[in-house]
Structure 1
Amino acid sequence: MARRAWRGAALVATVSVVGLLGACTTTVGGLPKPERPDISKVSGLEITQGESGAKPGVPDAALPVENGDGGEMDRLAVNTLADVEEYWTQQLPMNFGGRRFEPVKRLISYDSGGTSVDVCRTNTAGVANAFYCSLDDSIAWDRGELLPMLNDSFGPMSVVTVLAHETGHAVQYKLGDASGITTNTPTIIKEQQADCYAGNFFRWIAEGNSKHFRLSTGPGLNQVLATMFFIRDAAGTSAEKQGAHGSAFDRVAAFQFGFAGDPKRCAQINETEIKSRITQQTFSPDDESKGQLPVAERKSLDALESSLRDAYKQTGAAPPAFKEGLGDCPDVEKTTSPAAYCPSTNQVSLDLAELTRIGSVPKKGQTGGLGDFAAFAEIASRFALSIQKATGYPLDGPAAGLRTACLTGAWAGTTTKPTSRLRLSAGDLDEAVAELLADKSLVAADVNGAVVPSGFARVEAFRDGFFDGDKGVCTRKYS
């Protein structure tokens, strides 16, 4: 029944939940006191709910563009590149010993479905892409298909995301040795750095410094992270493959490092760091299911329950029982769906039909499921509430939501162990990211289903648990 094993050396830290909650009830000598995040903020910025996108009434930038049509997509691209140029003109000297930022020499627009042009030794016919070319120091974008699709699906800040990433590659090229990038540097390192540099730029926008754009740190930033999810590598892609950009879990992490840090932090992304945290993996050759299990089958639920009991056994808490069907619970304000925890009975109740829907993989052109691991994580989040109750933590409020996301991440980390009956497979963590970015994410919700408003904070808490759950981070940081 076991899910397929983690292959290769991409993940070197196998997480245990030993002592997961003990650090809050016992003083441990020499253990640094972590900074407790302000749950009303995102990396120190207030969580805002305002509009994101182009600032009204601001004249368009006037950068020269080759082959442009002057339409909406070209204006959006040019305004982005003008602002990102201003950002790096300020930041490069401040962070890299006075180095000046030389603007990209050529900006090229094309229509992948129209008349083709040759850019960077590539014919643009059918190339729905955006890219930086070091051969002639240019940035090119497809105004015909790619940019409209991003804008229609995720809003204008998704276009800003992609072009900020491409400018990140220009920064690498212009920094040279200071970026740690050479011709032999694996693609995954270059792409993670560029995602991080995009995060730097978005922090600048969120702080109100951009001439053309504004960004709310609530729904606006959530949409940016959703864009990072959309442009992830396909499940099963090797991180060592030429052209690999990273899984959603890894790309969002790099963006968040940039948003919370400075450009020097991004330049520190190197092979050592990548080997320590990249989770991207290939499918096992004998994994005929491609990592997808039937969520509602008894053997799947038994394996999940076994993995959860094993993950939290060191806490000494009595594990909750699983119960099919949602019902009333006298000590909660609202019964959550598709899984719920009732403190008075210590039961996790399950809506198997809805969990099956969430656990399905949507077919092309259809909406619906997120994948089996998203459904399993929702059940795990309700199980994690029972652990919090047993160890004296409140089950309602934003802190409980973040603690739940972190503890769920800690459980996910234990599924990398060979002894776990439920094994992490390629694409599983991306399914978790998709769930965490959903408006009604249960993984980052309290016992009543109140969701932490910031998707950024939800993903960060889950990642904290995944990598550092064995160090008691979930209750020290999110108490």
Structure 2
Amino acid sequence: MARRTGKGAALVAALAVAALLSGCTEVVSGQGRMMPPDASKVSGLDITTGESGPKPGVPDADLRVENGDGGEMDRLAINALADVEQYWAEQLPKNFGGREFESVKRLVSYDSTGRGVEICRINTAGVPNAFYCSLDDSIAWDRGDLLPMLHEAFGPMAVVTVLAHEMGHAIQYKLGPDGGVTQATSSIVKEQQADCYAGNFFRWVAEGKSEHFRISTGPGLNQVLQTMFFIKDAAGTSAEKRGAHGSAFDRVTAFQFGFAGDPKRCSQIDDAEIQERITQQRFSAKDTDSGTGMGNLPVGERKVLDKLEASLRDAYKQSGATPPALKETMVDCADAEETLPASYCPSTNVIAVDLVELVRIGTPTKRGQAGGIGDFAAFAEIASRYALSIQKATGYSLAGPAAGLRTACLTGYWAGTTNKEGVELRLSSGDLDEAVAELLAEGSLIAADVNGSSVPSGFARVEAFRDGFFEGSGLCTRKYGS
């Protein structure tokens, strides 16, 4: 997070907080009533916690692969691509005017740690990657470094995620202008579409239609989203850069669009939509470093906490609620449990913070050193407790999954108010990715009720935060007001 007031596009409009106060579930006259989401579901599917990965006892797919070694990574890749092809064989004609799916012409396995092979006019030696090449209609993957690393870090469905994304590029090439992609289409649009197409496929898997794989909509889907976080562009990368894929926030957004929608929704992602919602930005010369990492502030300093408190008061000033006091020591509370690094006590209207834990979370991890996530993650956890005070003042329950979703949404709303011109405490590149990291962590406080009970689904947590960020506080009460 940066202390600066430079030029920047405001991605959200701070809707009148009177809507937050009203607590009504009515949308604008004539548009009917918005039903609140079921906190026990993910895009209409039950939240499940079962095993994710290859289905036991299912024979491997029989696809012709060049340069393979028959090992575990190749078998996983082949089974993934076989199921992704089955998905598109069903969905392409259904969604694109009867257009028949044609399998990619080449599947190539290679080991980036060994002798290179020539694919798509490049030598694969030292290239840990997976990619689609339109020159010969091929999909290639590195079985020696990339796939094992993803498998170890996030499980087998991380490998499936990457290959489903690459098949998304194949679909773009096969559809061409019919799918909204031409030679002139920017990299960021192509990558966001491919992430969205991967989301389409994983909805199909979650519905139990995949032959070789299964995924839970709780921990399993969280791991898929964590994979999207891992393969994001580095903070400070311009969305206009050739080859840009998107920040974690942007990539997860595109994936969620696909999971909740159909392939036609994904093909509608274009430059106009990207300009409207993309959050990826370069670092500004005014972004503060202070030795904590580019764009990160020292969250344990009182003057920094004062700026955060002023930002929160300004965001919610129209609510009329009495601002909670912010104290640097934990205190006993009669009507709520202690939560770290910040707790809200309804009976005293006090937010108490643990500075040691706050600093740990707010200090980014550096190579070879222990650390946390970044300043925005720490600030957002405090903001979530502040959002509870607003809910208390406006008569909402502070306990249960609905309170957790509403809290995430209102925290996202606050984040949106820091992304406007003229504010002193302002979003910098990478801040929203820090929010995604926190929201996908076990026990996320941003999406937790007053007692620290988190919404079970990381997918739902991120979606609620994004709703508040882009749409404002009015949607938080209309959609999550039960």
**TM-score, normalising length from structure 1?**
0.97
One-letter amino acid of the structure 1 residue matched with residue 332 of structure 2: D
Q: Write the deviation string for residues 226-264 of structure 1: whole angstroms up to 9, x where unpaired.
A: 000000000000000000000000000000000000000
Is 1:322 the equivalent of 2:326?
A: yes
Query: Where in structure 2 are the equivalents of 1:6-17 lying within 5 Å?
Result: 9=9, 12-16=11-15
Q: What is the alpha-carbon distance in structure 2 between the residues aligned to residue 295 and residue 52 of structure 1? A: 37
Q: Could you tell me which residue of structure 2 aligns to residue 389 of structure 1? A: 392
Is 1:118 the equivalent of 2:104?
A: no
Residues 1:293 and 1:94: Cα distance change in structure 2 (over 3 Å): same
Query: Where in structure 2 are the equivalents of 1:389-468 lying within 5 Å?
Result: 389-468=392-471
Structure 2 SS opposite 1:349? strand
One-letter amino acid of the structure 2 residue matched with residue 44 of structure 1: G
Q: Is the 8 A contact 2:24 2:478 kept in 1?
A: no
Query: Where in structure 2 are the equivalents of 1:195-274 lying within 5 Å?
Result: 195-274=195-274
Structure 1, unpaired ranges of 5+: none
Q: Could you tell me which residue of structure 1 aligns to residue 128 of structure 2? A: 128
Residues 1:55 and 1:2: Cα distance change in structure 2 (over 3 Å): closer
Residues 1:223 and 1:410: Cα distance change in structure 2 (over 3 Å): same
Q: What is the alpha-carbon distance in structure 2 between the residues aligned to residue 88 and residue 31 of structure 1? A: 35
Structure 2 SS opposite 1:407? helix
Structure 1 SS opposite 2:69? coil
Q: Is the 8 A contact 1:20 1:314 kept in 2?
A: no
Query: Where in structure 2 are the equivalents of 1:315-354 lying within 5 Å?
Result: 315-332=319-336, 334-354=337-357
Structure 2 SS opposite 1:21? helix
Q: What is the alpha-carbon distance in structure 2 between the residues aligned to residue 440 and residue 31 of structure 1? A: 36
Q: Is the 8 A contact 1:16 1:410 kept in 2?
A: no
Q: What is the alpha-carbon distance in structure 1 between the residues aligned to residue 189 and residue 208 of structure 2? A: 30
Q: What is the alpha-carbon distance in structure 1 between the residues aligned to residue 403 and residue 37 of structure 2? A: 13
Give the Å deviation of 1:461.
0.1
Q: What is the alpha-carbon distance in structure 2 between the residues aligned to residue 82 and residue 8 of structure 1? A: 45
Residues 1:176 and 1:226: Cα distance change in structure 2 (over 3 Å): same
Structure 1 SS opposite 2:327? strand
Residues 1:236 and 1:314: Cα distance change in structure 2 (over 3 Å): same
Q: Is the 8 A contact 2:110 2:124 kept in 1?
A: yes
One-letter amino acid of the structure 2 residue matched with residue 370 of structure 1: I
One-letter amino acid of the structure 2 residue matched with residue 36 of structure 1: P
Q: Could you tell me which residue of structure 1 aligns to residue 314 of structure 2? A: 310
Residues 1:476 and 1:151: Cα distance change in structure 2 (over 3 Å): same
Q: Is the 8 A contact 1:20 1:469 kept in 2?
A: no
Give the Å deviation of 1:367.
4.6
Q: Is the 8 A contact 1:89 1:101 kept in 2?
A: yes
What is the alpha-carbon root mean square deviation over aligned residues? 1.5
Residues 1:323 and 1:20: Cα distance change in structure 2 (over 3 Å): farther
Q: Is the 8 A contact 2:53 2:156 kept in 1?
A: yes
Q: Could you tell me which residue of structure 2 aligns to residue 152 of structure 1? A: 152
Structure 1 SS opposite 2:441? coil
Q: Is the 8 A contact 2:3 2:286 kept in 1?
A: no
One-letter amino acid of the structure 2 residue matched with residue 457 of structure 1: A
One-letter amino acid of the structure 1 residue matched with residue 478 of structure 2: R
Q: Is the 8 A contact 2:467 2:475 kept in 1?
A: yes
Q: What is the alpha-carbon distance in structure 2 between the residues aligned to residue 457 and residue 52 of structure 1? A: 18
Q: What is the alpha-carbon distance in structure 2 between the residues aligned to residue 7 and residue 240 of structure 1? A: 18
Q: Is the 8 A contact 2:8 2:420 kept in 1?
A: no
Structure 1 SS opposite 2:316? helix
Structure 2 SS opposite 1:245? coil
Give the Å deviation of 1:124.
0.4
Q: What is the alpha-carbon distance in structure 1 between the residues aligned to residue 22 and residue 232 of structure 2? A: 36
Structure 1 SS opposite 2:425? coil
**TM-score, normalising length from structure 2?**
0.96
Give the Å deviation of 1:6.
6.4
Give the Å deviation of 1:178.
1.1
Q: Say how many residue pairs are matched.
A: 476
One-letter amino acid of the structure 1 residue matched with residue 299 of structure 2: V
Q: Could you tell me which residue of structure 1 aligns to residue 298 of structure 2? A: 294
Q: Could you tell me which residue of structure 1 aligns to residue 21 of structure 2? A: 22
Give the Å deviation of 1:389.
0.2
Match of 2:475 among 469, 473, 476: 473
Q: Could you tell me which residue of structure 1 aligns to residue 50 of structure 2? A: 50
Structure 2 SS opposite 1:322? strand
Q: What is the alpha-carbon distance in structure 1 between the residues aligned to residue 267 and residue 109 of structure 2? A: 29
One-letter amino acid of the structure 2 residue matched with residue 195 of structure 1: D
Identity of aligned residues (%): 73
Structure 2, unpaired ranges of 5+: none
Q: Is the 8 A contact 1:2 1:303 kept in 2?
A: no
